[in-house]
Structure 1
């Protein structure tokens, strides 16, 4: 079951890459443009994206560990089923969001702006990036950017069963976003055009919607 969820999280990251380019693409491009002329750009992008993945993995571990600990203390398995149902609903909402049928997840993103207002000034203090390693903490800070795609994947981590599994799910999600984010540069515009194509977005949303519905149905059968 976990392997299926890890694969699904990777797929969501891959299919939602158009949203990633919209949210983080400008930052990744800025990292590339701010690279000193005598240095290659790809190490900066690698460390920046590695920082993002570290943050996603950390958040996933925290969510999985907290929920697992609370359910163990309460000894209520029924509560975990409700949480899994919530995760399935978030997947369905994400599918509607990616397919541009309904933009409700944007409201959830606004909740995260409260924390982001405190974190974003820290990232600005790291610029300009003089060495690739400096892009690592910069990417870690930007990993906390409010994003409906990240929040949806995070609900899976919360019901993964423990901190390790929660980390694996968010790591898989982050790896799914990597191909698009590493191609920032000359191929960015053409790739962004493809990923934001309505047909591609609708196909991606259909795949995610199917997974959400299957998950919801499996949870329903356990009540």
Structure 2
């Protein structure tokens, strides 16, 4: 849900590069021409190439998210035996939900504190970005796959907020699954941008769309904080909140 609703943020972070797939050599304006009712419908081979480029780009991007989730979950798994782990998990749980609240406010244009966090992550991107020049122009699926994998490390507050949730999963595998689920949530929006280009971006920039998406993500964060404040006892919140491992451990101890 966070990936799907938060992906309205992707129009600024990934919209330009994904839309560029629609004008790559050999696939020039395939989908925009067809959807605009133009007389020059592209050949099936060009359409197939365009779709494959978009799929490859997103496969690389989601793969990078899963890799980051595996690292985050693996860190928690590695320190699980430490005596400070329950307190660390609880603190991370509070922070993860505060990040969701910040993301919701950011999408609503009510507060832009996440941009500072994104700025802090740019030192990684400065080392990755030069590699993208070697992948241009994106005229085949291999380049699109590699560029998507690199783009997955672009500083993004939305990704950082979900990475904290991946860390709460407590294992490298579960962390990878959390981030893969997040990436799949962003897939409909990002893939559609690659196929529809600027037409979809104009709709996503509408304030009511961003406010509605932000409110839902804000509600997730508030629900998580409510659960943290009540000692993780609200069973209905299990449906929308990831539980720290410490709460599960205490449940098993009581049983």
TM over 0.5: yes
Q: Which runs of 5+ in 1 are unaligned?
A: 1-10
**What is the TM-score normalised by the length of structure 2?**
0.78
Aligned partner of 1:58 among 67, 80, 95? 67
Q: Which one is further off, 68-77 or 97-106? A: 68-77
- How far did residue 113 of structure 1 move? 0.6
1:159 to 158, 168, 174: 168
C-alpha displacement of 1:73: 3.3
After superposition, residues 126-141 of structure 1 pair within 5 angstroms as 126-141=135-150
In the alignment, the residues of structure 2 paired with residue 194 and residue 69 of structure 1 have an alpha-carbon distance, to the nearest angstrom, of: 44
Is 1:189 paired with 2:198?
yes
Instruction: List per-residue Cα deviations over 1:35-94 (Å, max 9, x = no partner).
Output: 435742110111011000000000011101102322323453122111111101101111
Tell whether 2:24 aligns with 1:34.
Answer: yes
Give the secondary-structure state (helix, strand or coil) at the position aligned to 2:193.
coil
Verify the 8 A CA contact 1:58 1:167 in the aligned structure 2: yes
- Give the number of the structure with larger relative contact order, counting CA–CA contacts within 8 Å between residues 6 or more apart: 1
Over aligned residue pairs, what C-alpha RMSD do you find?
1.8
Corresponding pairs, count: 213
Q: TM-score, normalised by structure 1?
A: 0.89
Mapped partners of 2:179, 2:14: distance in 1: 17
Please name the residue that 1:99 is paired with: 108
Is 1:149 aligned with 2:158? yes
Larger radius of gyration: 2
Q: 1:24 aligns with which of 5, 11, 14?
A: 14
